[in-house]
Amino acid sequence: MDFTVALAQIKPKLGCLDDNMALAEAAIEKGIAAGADLVVFPELALTGYFLKDLVPEVALRLDSPQMDKLKKLSERISIAIGFVEVSADFRFFNSAVYLEDGEIRHVHRKVYLPTYGLFDEQRYMARGERFRAFDTRFGRIGMLICEDMWHLSAPYILAMDGAMTLICLSSSPGRGVTESEGLGSAAAWQKLTTTTAMFLNCRVFYCNRVGYEDGINFWGGSEAIAPSGEMTDRGAILEEDFVLAKVDGGALRRERIFSPMMRDENLAITVKELKRIDREKDC
Amino acid sequence: MGGLTVNTKLLRQILVGFVRDEVYKVGVRKGVLGLSGGIDSALVAYIAAEALGPENVHAYCMPYRTSNPESEAHARLVAESLGINFKVIEITPMIDAYFTITPDADNMRRGNKMARERMTILYDHSAAVGGLVLGTSNKTELLLGYGTLHGDMASALNPIGDIYKSQVWALSEAMGVPSEVIEKKPSADLWAGQTDEQELGFTYREADELLYRMVDQRMNREELIAAGFDPAFIDNVARKVQGSHFKRRLPIIAKVSNRTIDRDFRYARDWGK
């Protein structure tokens, strides 16, 4: 099926749930007006990124009024959005929720919480424990949050779980200004999104935020990548943007006929060898 | 050395965006800075004028009676070429009044007092015009500790604190800072004929080459020696970086409660903005 995805490259306000909810609603309305079928937001779109001690204050339960509002909106357009989730036992997760037809279809809790360099996520958040693909009206989808995608196993697991579309919600800080054309972090991500799509014959929708938090910039550059690994649409660098990408449904089928890597992938060998490695590591 | 060469177009976009975003976030539209006549403050003025509009930038030149007249002339040149607000405020009366009580103070104490005097004036004017004080210390100076704590090192926002002096030169050229300002020898203008490089005992370019590898690339001593740096120079610079670290941190607070400011009471400065 052909469809249109909107990548809402917004600039959230740090710790201001209500303002960010309003930003999200405006982008959702814009997506509906533009005829988009799915709107994707960045990681922690409802809260901002460098939350530190604000984490518990901006966390939402899945039965919160904000989620109800998003559910209602998802009757008109499918939505993938990042927020801080609080569980019943008061663990806080860097989560992404996928809503469609008035329901929450899937919640992904970020597994790989970075703590190196300028990152400090694991100090404030609990770690997710699974990667699962799920069914949507666009076929099977897998969600990743930023650092998750840097771990080869994560998109691999989702692809083996049947995902043909990977959605990556991101808050990637810009760094590495050198003599080359783009930012170091942007160049690295662009390699990653295209390579992941090519290896797994999946579409990739990458949505990265913009704005500054305590002097750290988020570089934007959201992308839609075809299953061939070709970048088809890209948002502005370092500026707010709203990317509308037309997705050619047939391209995925053709790509998987042309290079049937996923068909030939041997899950049994992978599982066997990983089990062996795990066993031997224990020794 | 490749690593110090920067894409000035991208750097300019990030720094201009930074000033605009972080100033507006606070709820003001203006920036205030000291314009010394040197390259660092000139570059910050260029960045601020582009970010906020020249009419929203307030620059102050604050000479002491022994300051080189060329400094004021260059500050004026920068202000006029940008069309920003410019005012000269002499600090001679305040400084001289203070040192009548301690006339034996050496050059370092006098220089530090002048730097702090200037910063109190900038903060006073930031309140008067409703703007934020923009910092003008670059990464080389900050790492070497070549600045005065609560003096020129103070500010609300610093757009150039993560770029080395060599990169300041490159960006200044790209942004059109007058060549007189770019080409002259860096000087804190503490006394007649003083230059930073003479006082430090090495050039900024040499320091940048070393600091870039030491700080950014995290090369260890052996690797730095293998890369051709003199061990004495490495140790000298390393000592300066370590010895001045206190200047780059908040005052330390004695912990007694469960939640101590900045240690386990942690929020971004942009909290709620």
Instruction: Tell me the pLDDT tens digit for each residue of A43-101.
Output: 999 999 999 999 999 999 999 999 999 999 999 999 999 999 999 999 999 999 999 99
Q: How far apart are CA A249 and CA B10, in angstroms?
A: 36
DSSP-H helix ranges across chain A:
17-33, 55-58, 65-73, 121-124, 153-160, 184-200, 249-258, 261-264, 267-282
Q: A213 CB near a chain B CB, below 8 Å?
A: yes
A54, A174, A211 member nearest B271 (Cβ):
A54
Per residue in B225-245, pLDDT tens? 999 999 999 999 999 999 999
Cross-chain residue pair B11–A177, CB shorter than 8 Å: yes
Cross-chain residue pair A214–B268, CB shorter than 8 Å: yes
Percent of chain B having pLDDT more than 70? 99
Helix then strand then coil, % of chain B, to nearest 5: 55, 10, 40
Q: Which two tokens stand for residue B220?
A: 């260890």
Which of residues A36 and B1 earns the better pLDDT score?
Answer: A36
CB A38 within 8 A of CB A98: no
Cross-chain residue pair A178–B7, CB shorter than 8 Å: yes
Q: B271 CB near a chain A CB, below 8 Å?
A: yes
pLDDT above 70 for B2: no
Q: Cα dihedral sign for A194, A198, A200, A201?
A: positive
Cross-chain residue pair B17–A217, CB shorter than 8 Å: yes
Per-residue pLDDT at A180: 87
Q: B157 CB near a chain A CB, below 8 Å?
A: yes
B6, B265, B268 member nearest A50 (Cβ):
B268
Model-level pTM? 0.94
pLDDT above 80 for B42: yes
Task: Please tell me what DSSP assigns to residue B187.
Answer: -
Range B119-131 average pLDDT:
98
CB A135 within 8 A of CB A115: no
Please, how many CA atoms are within 13 Å of residue B132, restricted to the half-sphere of its CB? 22
The ipTM assigned to this model is 0.91
Instruction: Determine whether the annotation assigns residue B36 to a binding site.
Output: yes
The residues facing A167 across adjacent strands are A143, A205
Cross-chain residue pair A178–B2, CB shorter than 8 Å: yes
Per residue in B75-119, pLDDT tens? 999 999 999 999 999 999 999 999 999 999 999 999 999 999 999
pLDDT above 50 for B1: no
Q: pLDDT per position in chain A (283 positions), as tens? A: 999 999 999 999 999 999 999 999 999 999 999 999 999 999 999 999 999 999 999 999 999 999 999 999 999 999 999 999 999 999 999 999 999 999 999 999 999 999 999 999 999 999 999 999 999 999 999 999 999 999 999 999 999 999 999 999 999 999 999 888 889 999 999 999 999 999 999 999 999 999 999 999 999 999 999 999 999 999 999 999 999 999 999 999 999 999 999 999 999 999 999 999 999 987 6
Quick one: residue B119, left, alpha or beta (phi over 0 = left, psi -120 to 50 = alpha)? Answer: alpha
Place of tokens 């300041």: B168
User: Which of B45-49, B211-215, B220-224, B259-263 is predicted with the least confidence, judged by mean pLDDT?
Assistant: B259-263
CB A182 within 8 A of CB B9: no
Interface probe, candidates A47, A52, A177, chain B, greatest B C-beta count within 10 A: A177
**Nearest chain B Cα distance for residue A271, angstroms:** 38
Q: How far apart are CA A114 and CA B237, in angstroms?
A: 32
Cross-chain residue pair B14–A52, CB shorter than 8 Å: no
Range B180-186 average pLDDT:
95
pLDDT above 50 for B179: yes
The residues facing A134 across adjacent strands are A141
**Nearest chain B Cα distance for residue A216, angstroms:** 8
Q: How far apart are CA A167 and CA A200, in angstroms?
A: 13
Q: Which two tokens stand for residue B31?
A: 């920036």
How would you label B18-43 residue by residue, b for 16+ Cβ within 10 Å and e otherwise? bbbbbbebeebebbbbbbbbbbbbbb
Helices then strands, each counted (H, E), chain B? 12, 4
